[in-house]
């Protein structure tokens, strides 16, 4: 069978290591380690991606030195105790011809972690404060610098002993090595500060120490931000100059290029770029570095389709493409691309909810579209049903579609009912907002899953209790979702008050001066504010949380708030909607209790709590079959919980 993406599936040799294709899983935290050590969950997670066809996996950045050692939160390579676990992980991935590198990570001043609830001392090149973490680091003494250099080499030796294929030194994203490289952060006056050669000395000596303690076949690379994309960060020109110098030393084997920095909210957005950021936008940055160096260049950053990766490789912008979130969303990404099944790939939509969001909360990572990720030991292999059942799924939102596809794949006879003409539920609304069209991918992907599983779909049919009884299925899964509700407001009869859904769908007539009462503090309020501001309205967004978008992943929120600021949207937090009249909206500050009054209001848009749609359930009292409620009709939450409950329900039949 001819390969659909020939450049993407060409082998590549780095040093003397042959990697079977150009797809790699870049380093990303998982929260699956325990006590700093490899667990069964971590092995199963990476094994799924190795089995799925990735050519290379770079393990998550791990600590290795007491100046940045938090074994409860990160893998830790600072003692020999790590070796057996890494050996087991390497063996599991090598069984699928997938190579494995480890990444060594020291955050320097960028630390929010704690051992006991108190704030630890942090270390950096100098005492320049960190804008995002709001810490003042201690300048590393010469002895600490030497100790850390030595610890890098010792950790690399442990990786080699465990049978890993290489080691990647994280020099990117505003972390410790980047802090030494940056002349605005490194103001030392010793041999590690000042000139470019002096600022490079820390990185060069780390590489030399690793080389001195590992054998000739060990691959050594660095990861660098080709542009930190923030005020005071390393610029693209500075990154090129650094890479040229390191390349000229002849001691490393590849450059892995990313963008962004942990040092500011603006830079952090580009470490995990959300769906509002352009696809594959780091590739031209990588190309600028590739033009100046002789070693292979790897790139990552919003590459979620094999077509994008193929174009990057074919155009010579990079030699390998990283797909961290794409492989979280679909571990079989590489195999499907290789076998000409690109349409079956479950494309990442860049929502950051269950991957980045879970990791930053120190929960095991997953995916809102593919909750099997991170739960491989439980759901990694669907077990055939012991007895095929006749299953009726009512409601074709994310919960219903996932439950239907999983149950059908296991061998049950599944019919999915939807009262409207389209499948997708609330996701159909989410995709209508500015910058959120990609969210519709969850619908596209789940529709493909039910097609492949052989689910029978009936649209434009409202399910009644009489219909259920006449069909007499073995199981009824209620996934009927939720509907808008309006809070009781004093004076609402005089005001022009509309609900959020009617505005998104274009059904509501909106005036030129709009106040949004955002109880939900999620994507709805932010999205409506952007939509209406772009439509030319004067918009005031009053949120019931400490910040608009409080309930969604921080990077997504921060990027969105930046857009709203540019559009002139007024944002007021801690606001509880109280009442309205003909041209005024009345709020109460949630902590002071004082009035917050918005005058000259044409339209008040209410983003309030949803109401679970439970009408059908009570009408089925006495029904002989099993009845189960999943998703928002059980309790209104998000797409993540809906799809997860669909997986669980379909798996447990």
Average of per-residue pLDDT across 427-456: 96
Structural domains of the chain ordered from first start:
12-378 (3.20.20.70), 384-484+615-652 (3.40.50.720), 497-609 (3.50.50.60)
pLDDT for the residue numbered 203: 98
- Asked whether residue 65 carries a pLDDT value surpassing 60, the answer given is yes
Q: If DSSP codes are grouped into helix, strand and coil, which group holds residue 121?
A: coil
Burial class (CB in 10 A: 0-12, 13-18, 19+), 450: buried
Distance CA 110, CA 260 (A): 14
Please, what is the average pLDDT of the chain?
A: 97
Give one DSSP letter per residue of 567-622, joined into a string: TT-EEE-SEEEEEE-SSEEEEEETTT--EEEEES-SEEEEE---EE--SHHHHTTT
Distance CA 491, CA 586 (A): 10
Q: Which residue in the list 175, 254, 379, 586 is annotated as catalytic?
A: 175
Q: What is the per-residue pLDDT across 447-486, written as a single tens digit (0 to 9) for each?
A: 999 999 999 999 999 999 999 999 999 999 999 999 999 9
pLDDT band at 270 (very low <50, low <70, confident <90, very high): very high
Place of tokens 């997670």: 45
Residue 162 near residue 90 (C-beta atoms within 8 A): yes
Average of per-residue pLDDT across 340-351: 96
Average of per-residue pLDDT across 568-586: 97
The tally of CA atoms less than 13 A away on the side-chain side of residue 51 is 13
Burial class (CB in 10 A: 0-12, 13-18, 19+), 532: buried
pLDDT for the residue numbered 413: 98
For helices 142-162 and 83-94, angle between their N-to-C axes, nearest 10 degrees: 50
Distance CA 151, CA 330 (A): 36
pLDDT band at 2 (very low <50, low <70, confident <90, very high): low
Q: What is the per-residue pLDDT across 368-389, written as a single tens digit (0 to 9) for each?
A: 999 999 999 999 999 999 999 9
Residue 431 has φ and ψ, to the nearest 5°, of: -75, -10
Give the tokens for residue 438. 């990609």
- Asked whether residue 4 carries a pLDDT value surpassing 90, the answer given is no
pLDDT band at 133 (very low <50, low <70, confident <90, very high): very high
pLDDT for the residue numbered 646: 98
Q: If DSSP codes are grouped into helix, strand and coil, which group holds residue 25?
A: strand
Quote the Cα angle for 420-423-425, to 5°: 85
- Asked whether residue 215 carries a pLDDT value surpassing 60, the answer given is yes
Q: What is the per-residue pLDDT across 542-553, written as a single tens digit (0 to 9) for each?
A: 999 999 999 999
Average of per-residue pLDDT across 317-330: 98
Lowest mean pLDDT among 238-242, 409-413, 491-495: 491-495
pTM of the model: 0.96
Q: What is the per-residue pLDDT across 103-123, written as a single tens digit (0 to 9) for each?
A: 999 999 999 899 899 999 999
Nearest to 106 by CA among 78, 79, 132: 78
pLDDT for the residue numbered 1: 47
Residue 266 has φ and ψ, to the nearest 5°, of: -65, -45
pLDDT over 70 percentage in the chain: 100
- Asked whether residue 528 carries a pLDDT value surpassing 80, the answer given is yes
- Asked whether residue 649 carries a pLDDT value surpassing 60, the answer given is yes
pLDDT for the residue numbered 491: 86
The residues near 506 (Cβ < 8 Å, ≥ 6 apart) are none
Distance CA 302, CA 266 (A): 17
Say whether 45 is catalytic: no
Q: What is the per-residue pLDDT across 331-345, written as a single tens digit (0 to 9) for each?
A: 999 999 999 999 999
Nearest to 87 by CA among 100, 98, 75, 96: 100
Helix (H) or strand (E) holding 445: helix 441-453
């Amino acid at each position: 069978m001819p390969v659909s993406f020939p450049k993407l599936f060409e082998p590549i040799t780095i040093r003397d290591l042959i990697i079977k294709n150009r797809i790699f899983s870049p380093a990303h935290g998982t929260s699956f380690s325990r006590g700093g050590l490899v667990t069964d969950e971590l092995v199963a997670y990476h094994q799924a991606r190795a089995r799925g066809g990735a050519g290379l996996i770079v393990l998550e950045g791990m600590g290795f030195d007491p100046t940045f050692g938090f074994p409860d939160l990160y893998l830790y390579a600072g003692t020999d105790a790590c070796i057996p676990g890494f050996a087991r992980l390497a063996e599991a991935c090598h069984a699928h011809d997938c190579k494995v590198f480890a990444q060594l990570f020291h955050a320097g001043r960028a630390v929010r972690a704690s051992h006991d609830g108190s704030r630890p001392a942090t270390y950096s090149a100098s005492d320049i404060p960190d804008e995002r973490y709001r810490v003042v680091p201690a300048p590393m003494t010469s002895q600490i610098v030497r100790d850390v250099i030595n610890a890098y080499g010792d950790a690399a030796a442990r990786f080699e002993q465990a049978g890993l294929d290489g080691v990647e030194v994280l020099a990117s994203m505003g972390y410790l090595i980047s802090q030494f490289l940056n002349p605005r952060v490194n103001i030392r006056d010793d041999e590690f500060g000042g000139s470019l050669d002096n600022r490079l000395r820390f990185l060069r000596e780390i590489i030399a120490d690793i080389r001195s303690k590992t054998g000739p076949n060990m691959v050594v690379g660095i990861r660098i931000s080709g542009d930190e994309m923030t005020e005071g960060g390393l610029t693209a020109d500075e990154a090129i100059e650094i890479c040229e110098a390191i390349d000229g030393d002849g001691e490393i084997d590849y450059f892995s290029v990313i963008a962004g920095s942990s040092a500011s909210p603006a830079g952090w957005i580009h470490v995990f770029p959300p769906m509002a950021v352009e696809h594959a936008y780091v590739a031209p940055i990588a190309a600028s570095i590739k033009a100046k160096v002789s070693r292979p260049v790897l790139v990552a950053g919003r590459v979620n389709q094999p077509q994008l990766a193929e174009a990057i490789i074919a155009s010579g912008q990079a030699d390998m493409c990283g797909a961290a979130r794409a492989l979280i969303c679909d571990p079989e990404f590489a195999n499907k691309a290789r076998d000409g099944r690109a349409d079956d790939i479950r494309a990442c939509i860049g929502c950051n909810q269950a991957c980045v969001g879970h990791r930053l909360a120190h929960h095991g990572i997953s995916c809102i579209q593919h909750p099997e990720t991170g739960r491989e030991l439980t759901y990694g292999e669907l077990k055939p049903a012991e007895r095929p059942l006749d299953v009726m799924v009512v409601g074709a939102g994310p919960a219903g579609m996932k439950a239907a596809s999983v149950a059908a794949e296991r061998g049950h006879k599944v019919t999915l009912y939807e009262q409207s003409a389209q499948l997708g539920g609330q996701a159909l609304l989410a995709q209508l907002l500015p910058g959120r069209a990609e969210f519709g991918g969850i619908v596209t992907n789940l529709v493909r899953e039910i097609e492949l599983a052989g689910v029978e779909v009936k649209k434009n049919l409202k399910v009644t209790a009489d219909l259920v009884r006449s069909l007499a299925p073995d199981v009824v899964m209620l996934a009927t979702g939720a509907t808008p509700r309006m809070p009781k407001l004093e004076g609402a009869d005089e005001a022009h008050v509309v609900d959020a859904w009617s505005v998104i769908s274009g059904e509501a007539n909106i005036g030129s001066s709009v106040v949004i009462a955002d109880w939900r503090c999620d994507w709805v309020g932010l999205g409506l504010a952007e939509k209406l501001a772009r439509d030319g309205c004067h918009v005031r967004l009053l949120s019931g949380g400490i910040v608009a978008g409080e309930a969604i992943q921080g990077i997504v929120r921060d990027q969105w708030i930046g857009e709203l600021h540019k559009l002139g949207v007024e944002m007021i937090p801690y606001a509880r909607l109280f009442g309205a009249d003909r041209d005024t909206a009345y709020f109460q500050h949630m902590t002071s209790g004082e009035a917050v009054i918005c005058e000259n209001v044409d339209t008040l848009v209410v983003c309030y709590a949803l109401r679970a749609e439970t009408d059908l359930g009570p009408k089925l009292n006495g029904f002989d079959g099993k009845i189960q409620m999943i998703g928002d009709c059980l309790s209104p939450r998000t797409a993540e919980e809906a799809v997860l409950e669909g997986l669980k329900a379909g798996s447990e039949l």
